[in-house]
Amino acid sequence: MERYVMKRRDFIKTTSMAGVGAGLTILNFPVFGKQAPSNKIVLGVMGVNSRGNWLAQVAAKLPGAAIGYICDVEDGAIEKGLKAVAGAQDRKPAVIKDIRKLLEQKDFDALIVAAPDHWHAPAAIMGTAAGKHVYVEKPCSHNPHEGELLVAAAKKYNRLVQMGNQRRSWPNLQQAVKEVKEQGILGKVHYGRGWYVNDRQPIGVGKKIPVPSTLNWDLWQGPAPRKDYLDNIVHYNWHWRWHWGTSETCNNATHELDCLRWFMDLEYPTKVTSAGGRYSFSGDDWETPDTQTLNFEFEGNKAVAWEGRSCDPFTLEGSGRGFAIFGEQGALYNSGGDSYKIVDNKNKVVKEVKQAANPNQSVTNTVSPAGEFYDAVHINNFLESIRGKATLNSEINTGYKSTLLCLLGNIAQRTGRVLHTDPSNGRILNDAEAMKLWSREYEKGWTPKI
């Protein structure tokens, strides 16, 4: 059996981004970006309460980057964002609460979008139209139509758009992909599965109360049709309401399904099914499934599945999340991080590669499952691509295809239908009712357009 842990110095070399991480030497970059002062790419970050707060910290530490603006609609989040960035850079970001006002500013180069899901595509589309490159967290859209628009916007405005499916930039997984696809270490692959489990608790029944003075509820809703403020939505439980969220599938399955598409050379499916529901608890405002299995069939006799259990913490293959790929000559297992093992047809481990950094990081951490280094490599790939020194590891067309799998799974779940889809573009065939969920209604004046 071949078994090793990639040394950190080798790990850094493989990423082609020396300078990322604490204590590493800052590189001397030439001037990039029309407005970039002090040889830096200047970033604006939308949404800094949780994930965006973390991304702002990570980006601010990268050589040749600076957080110029923070955009949020809640005072507590703004305070957290400013505090986080203050420890990573000397420059204090300016604060602009309205994304429309932010995008009028000419002195920054790229936008990071980490607001709630219903904001991802509209903000990213607006960003490209304003001439900004965009890093948008997963899922890239709240519905398939938005994703199609975002892909078209990136092309129309000739902007780089990277989705936050960070595994595409992790060096051990990049190595594993080459072994599976180029070296054929598993032989012909035909089936893959992914999983995610957590121990989320009930969210209760929201009470209609006055909007806190610290929150601009109108801007928080943005493109979504207006609803009354409830006390159990902001900051996190919107995930489980269809009006703003996209369920655990888009919240987490995006990563594993993206890896399965990547490793198995999959594009759009031909058939999608879903089973599950709100099984673990009842009587609260949680609308999306907390227990769900998705199945996708593709041309070429290939299929993938995903299992999600938001409220049952029992692991699979010894991990709270991960994926597995099965071929004629063996199987590959991933336990959620930048690691993998390969077994032969007798289930004997023939190779095992361990994660180099943050080996004890929780794979179900809601802010950063892998840790700073692994987020940094993906953001830095975005920055290096802006500089013209790299190509995006997850450009938006790729990101949308993976997001679409999750969205199709949600549509299958909500309609109770088996979906048959066009393998050339993923669109649902011969089902007008299901296609009603391809898009959504928008608040007047907020419909995304390019």
Written as one string, the DSSP assignment of 331-356 is EEEE-SSS-EEEEETT--EEEEEE-S
Strands (DSSP E) found in 10-105:
41-46, 65-71, 94-95
Q: Residues with Cβ < 8 Å from 32, sequence gap 6 or more? A: 39, 41, 64, 109, 386, 387, 388
Collapsed DSSP state (helix, strand, coil) of residue 375 = helix
pLDDT for 9: 41
Task: Examine the pLDDT at 7 and tell me if it is beyond 50.
Answer: no
Mode of pairing for the β-strands spanning 349-354 and 340-344: antiparallel
Rounded mean pLDDT, 263-277: 98
Question: Residue 369 — pLDDT band, cuts 50, 70, 90?
Answer: low
Give the pairing type, strands 2-5 and 349-354.
parallel
- In whole angstroms, give the CA distance from residue 111 to residue 99: 10
Beta bridge partner(s), residue 277: 291
Question: Any idea of the CA torsion for 102, 407, 301, 325, to the nearest 10 degrees?
Answer: 70
**Which of 334, 358, 355, 393 is closest to 17 using CA atoms?**
393
Residue-level pLDDT at 317: 93
Query: pLDDT category, 362, cuts 50, 70, 90?
Result: low
Contact of 402 with 296, CB cutoff 8 Å:
no
Instruction: Specify the pLDDT at position 1.
Output: 53
Higher-confidence residue of 84 and 32: namely 84
Q: What is the mean pLDDT of residues 224-249?
A: 97
Residue with tokens 């000559």: 329
Residue 206 has pLDDT above 60, yes or no: yes
Write out the residue limits of the CATH 3.40.50.720 domain(s) in the chain: 18-165
Q: How far apart are CA 204 and CA 284, in angstroms?
A: 5
Q: Tell me the mean pLDDT in the region 93-102.
A: 98
263, pLDDT greater than 80: yes
Q: What's the pLDDT at 5? A: 44
Query: Side chain identity at 189, as an amino acid letter?
Result: V
Q: How far apart are CA 67 and CA 69, in angstroms?
A: 6
The pLDDT of residue 237 is above 80? yes
Query: pLDDT confidence of 357, banded at 50, 70, 90?
Result: low
Q: Where in the chain is the domain with CATH 3.30.360.10?
A: 168-367+396-438
Calculate ∠ Cα 384-386-387, nearest 5°.
60
Share of the chain above pLDDT 70, in %: 88
Tell me which of 10-24, 50-64, 227-241, 312-326 is least confident.
Answer: 10-24
Task: Please report the pLDDT score of residue 13 as a whole number.
Answer: 41
Answer whether residue 24 shows pLDDT above 70.
no
Q: What is the mean pLDDT of residues 355-384?
A: 74
According to DSSP, residue 328 is labeled S
> From CA 368, how far away is CA 64, in angstroms rounded?
23
d(CA 138, CA 140): 5
Q: What is the pLDDT of residue 372?
A: 83
Dihedral angle computed from the Cα positions of residues 55, 19, 357 and 88, in that order, rounded to the nearest 10 degrees: -40
| Predicted pLDDT at 180 | 98
pLDDT of amino acid 35: 38
CATH number of 168-367+396-438: 3.30.360.10
Q: How confident is the model at residue 356 (pLDDT cuts 50, 70, 90)?
A: confident
Determine contact, residues 253/306, Cβ cutoff 8 Å: yes
The amino acid present at 436, given as its one-letter code, is K
Both tokens assigned to 28:
């001397």
Q: Are strands 189-197 and 321-327 parallel, antiparallel or unpaired?
A: antiparallel
Tokens 């990277």, residue?
A: 162
Q: What's the predicted TM-score (pTM) here?
A: 0.90
* Residue scoring higher pLDDT (108 or 37): 108
Q: Does domain 18-165 have CATH number 3.40.50.450?
A: no
Instruction: Please state, rounded to an integer, the average pLDDT across all residues of the chain.
Output: 91
Cα–Cα dist 241/237, whole Å: 7
Strand residue runs (E) in 110-176: 110-113, 133-136, 161-163
